[in-house]
Structure 1
Amino acid sequence: MAQVVVVGGGIVGLAVARELAARGDGVTVLEKERHWGAHQTGHNSNVVHAGLYYKPGSLKARMSVAGNASMIAFAREHGVPVEVCGKLVVATSTGELPRLHDLAARAEANGVPAKLISATEALEYEPHVSCVAALRVESTGIIDFKAVCAALVRELDGHDLRLQSPVVAIRSAPAGVEVLTPQGVVRADALVNCAGLQSDRVARLAGLSPKATIVPFRGEYYELTRTDLVRGLIYPVPDPTLPFLGVHLTRMLDGSVHAGPNAVLALRREGYRWRDFSFGDVADVVRFPGTWKLARKYARTGVDEVLRSLSRKRFAASLARLVPEVTEADIVRAEAGVRAQAMLPDGSLVDDFLVESAPRQVHVLNAPSPAATGSLEIAKHVADLTRSVIE
């Protein structure tokens, strides 16, 4: 039996710890916050993704499709609230139809149950939607990912789970690793880094030079006060030249409807508001050459996102493309999230999950959406790698 220390108590870290424990390993989980799933896990849209957007054969595609099934099964087994409600991806103009058909072909390639439907058929699902055609995706669901974390913690009963335990230093030992925390040293046969927004920094503490750097993007949400306008999930057709999906509408388990997110550069790794500022974090972003290359490539898009962040009227207008009855008066600010986006020095965003390994170390360096959906599958992959770096 190996002893493994997992850094990061979000859904991926807890899922990895559970998988390692199920294979007979001893596990210590170190989380710097006061509760589990404090950052990306606790601030996302709670969507169980189907897997239609991702390049066929990629880790994202495989783990999202498999993760959709395994996450829903896990939730039902452990009494976690989940609803498989399906969603509509809508083309709001004829110019978007080729991209909608491309998305349907990608869904088929990934094994995602989806069908093209007419505007009239779309109204049967969402009576207030505006579109010329839509893609109906049946396997998309809504879940409570915080409750999933709580269930994973219960499954890890008997193992060493430590909150408020930030990693201060990491050093190699003759037969493993030593991780220094304010409470003392944790010794293990291997280290698994699932630190999300801090994952590249943890990798550097461990002596690696990761090829990607985390750049934080804040996704801001509104809540729709007219909940009668949305029955399930309504998404726009994504622009393949842009890195994010665009604002969408999501009916939550409690009946509320969330609208968003947009995407603006966060001024702190864990900055959920404009006033959340870290000089060190901003300096890291400014010094990183990829930031400026990305900014030049998406300058107009970036300006539009900032303006939408600052203007409720603009945000509402984006939503009105999907549901024309939405007005500025119908939305109120809701909690934001921060996406840990891995970026390369050439300014390109890492499109797939990224995992790097070294002797007795495995580092999950890019696990944005759909990582929560695919977390149980990511855990299997990471556990396999962990075994290989120990042996």
Structure 2
Amino acid sequence: MTERIECVVIGAGVVGLAVARQLALKGREVVILEREDRFGTGISSRNSEVVHGGMYYATGSLKARLCVEGNPELYAFCEAHGVDHRRCGKFIVATRPGQVETLEKVLARGLANGVPGLRMITGAQAVAAEPRLTCLAALQSPSTGIVDTHGLMKALLADAEDHGATLVLRSPVLGGAADPEGVRMEVGGPEPLAILASEVYNCAGLGARKVARGIRGVRADALPPVFLAKGNYYALSGPAPFSRLVYPVPEAAGLGVHLTLDLGGQARFGPDVEWVEEENYDVALSRADAFYAEIRRYWPGLPDGALQPAYAGIRPKLQGPGDAEARDFVIQRAADHDVPGLVNLLGIESPGLTACIALAGHVLGV
């Protein structure tokens, strides 16, 4: 027997939950299918938990627009729903003369993107604010902050459920096919079932391309390749040296080994970029060796042996190793892949957390 459902969201990470919430707020019938035994176990639980400002992304891109729009929307949601967060601010620092020009380019891009309060300060001004810091100049971003990602997802889910959405765990989508009435899907798990959905929102994160490929009718050439960029994080033993986030100038495929804080004040460093073929979340102590030299460019006082393995995350990148050109979020509809009712969200990496509420609104035309 096939169960008919109006809207199915695949994936209960932060983006899937934000999309489900927005659908529920519109009065739609919503079922969220999550393959794991709890929500938010993938990308959403393995990141820096940073609320980004939006200065890194190409002007006019979805990443830039949705990050700048999503930043205040996320803070407002957290305030309204009691989600722990802190607008601690961030310094992006130049430690070598050639990097000051890079900072100026980031500033120009950020201003073009509409990032509020962004300004260049001298090295002396930065050190006056953060005495343990060493730099020639810094870009100050007051809108950057940190958020309890689990608390955010819990609040998004609660709001969605309060408006009628249903979360079904241990329900992997095994395959599907285009149908004149929507999208047919085979769902596995302890209680397998067949679903006919009028609308399907594929928010499966690292598995989004695989899910899309498993739906018959989707043109294979419509799906861009996805590359897995593993990022390793290391915790600092001892008190945090800074009161705000500190980032080096951005690098290819990432933002450099930066210092972030959790809401308890614990400092951690990362992520680096390690290209992998499959999911693997082991963090080798040996990889920390390369972190010390990078961190000491802006914090010379980092003690030997102070970094301990913390966790790793994997970003689904649409740019591969050696490709310096950043790729934008990809949101595909029927015109892109030939399956009416199916929306694929591909390459949703940073700043997906910051942009989640704005991204949900964009997907649903709100």
Q: TM-score, normalised by structure 2?
A: 0.91
Tell me which residue corresponds to 1:22. Answer: 25
1:281-292 to structure 2, matched below 5 A, reads none
Report the Cα distance in structure 1 between the residues aligned to 2:166 and 2:45, rounded to whole angstroms.
Answer: 22
Asked whether the 8 Å contact 2:46–2:314 carries over to 1, the reply is yes
Tell me which residue corresponds to 2:214. Answer: 205
Report the Cα distance in structure 1 between the residues aligned to 2:43 and 2:224, rounded to whole angstroms.
Answer: 19
Tell me which residue corresponds to 2:152. Answer: 148
**What residue identity is the alignment partner of 2:234?**
Y
Aligned-partner SS, 2:72: helix
1:370-381 to structure 2, matched below 5 A, reads 370-381=351-362
Query: Displacement of 1:350 after TM fit?
Result: 5.4
Match of 2:68 among 58, 65, 69: 65
Tell me which residue corresponds to 1:246. Answer: 256
Query: Displacement of 1:348 after TM fit?
Result: 7.0
Tell me which residue corresponds to 1:317. Answer: 293
**What residue identity is the alignment partner of 1:253?**
L
Structure 2, unmatched stretches of 5+, are 335-339
Residues 219, 73 of structure 1: alpha-carbon distance in 2 compared, 3 angstrom cutoff: same
Moved more, 41-50 or 210-219: 210-219
Match of 1:364 among 341, 345, 348: 345
* 1:383 and 2:364 aligned: yes
Moved more, 207-216 or 315-324: 207-216
Aligned-partner SS, 1:28: strand
Tell me which residue corresponds to 1:298. Answer: none
Match of 1:54 among 57, 61, 67: 57
Report the Cα distance in structure 2 between the residues aligned to 1:213 and 1:9, rounded to whole angstroms.
Answer: 23
Asked whether the 8 Å contact 1:107–1:114 carries over to 2, the reply is yes
Deviations 1:228-279 (A, max 9, x none): 412110000113xx121110001211110010110102242x321279xxxx
Match of 2:273 among 260, 263, 274: 263
Deviations 1:133-183 (A, max 9, x none): 101110001001111110011112232211110001112222111211122
Asked whether the 8 Å contact 2:240–2:266 carries over to 1, the reply is no
Asked whether the 8 Å contact 2:23–2:30 carries over to 1, the reply is yes
Quick one: percent identity of the two aligned structures? 38
Tell me which residue corresponds to 1:193. Answer: 202
Match of 1:215 among 197, 217, 227: 227
Report the Cα distance in structure 1 between the residues aligned to 2:19 and 2:146, rounded to whole angstroms.
Answer: 22
Tell me which residue corresponds to 2:337. Answer: none
Report the Cα distance in structure 1 between the residues aligned to 2:66 and 2:99, rounded to whole angstroms.
Answer: 28
Report the Cα distance in structure 2 between the residues aligned to 1:6 and 1:362, rounded to whole angstroms.
Answer: 10
Report the Cα distance in structure 2 between the residues aligned to 1:252 and 1:263, rounded to whole angstroms.
Answer: 21
* 1:327 and 2:336 aligned: no
Residues 346, 42 of structure 1: alpha-carbon distance in 2 compared, 3 angstrom cutoff: closer
Deviations 1:39-65 (A, max 9, x none): 110001000000011111111111001
* 1:44 and 2:9 aligned: no
Report the Cα distance in structure 2 between the residues aligned to 1:228 and 1:14, rounded to whole angstroms.
Answer: 32
Moved more, 349-358 or 51-60: 349-358
Match of 1:164 among 150, 166, 170: 170
Q: TM-score, normalised by structure 1?
A: 0.85
Report the Cα distance in structure 1 between the residues aligned to 2:306 and 2:39, rounded to whole angstroms.
Answer: 33
Tell me which residue corresponds to 1:86. Answer: 89
Structure 1, unmatched stretches of 5+, are 276-308, 386-391
Asked whether the 8 Å contact 2:209–2:223 carries over to 1, the reply is no
Asked whether the 8 Å contact 2:236–2:269 carries over to 1, the reply is yes
Tell me which residue corresponds to 1:340. Answer: 316
Aligned-partner SS, 1:177: strand
* 1:235 and 2:247 aligned: yes
Report the Cα distance in structure 1 between the residues aligned to 2:286 and 2:333, rounded to whole angstroms.
Answer: 41
Query: Displacement of 1:345 after TM fit?
Result: 12
User: Root-mean-square deviation (CA), in Å?
Assistant: 1.9
Deviations 1:102-124 (A, max 9, x none): 11111111111211111111013
**What residue identity is the alignment partner of 1:178?**
R
Report the Cα distance in structure 2 between the residues aligned to 1:13 and 1:191, rounded to whole angstroms.
Answer: 11
Give the count of matched residue pairs: 348
1:89-100 to structure 2, matched below 5 A, reads 89-100=92-103
Asked whether the 8 Å contact 1:18–1:156 carries over to 2, the reply is yes
Report the Cα distance in structure 2 between the residues aligned to 1:333 and 1:339, rounded to whole angstroms.
Answer: 19
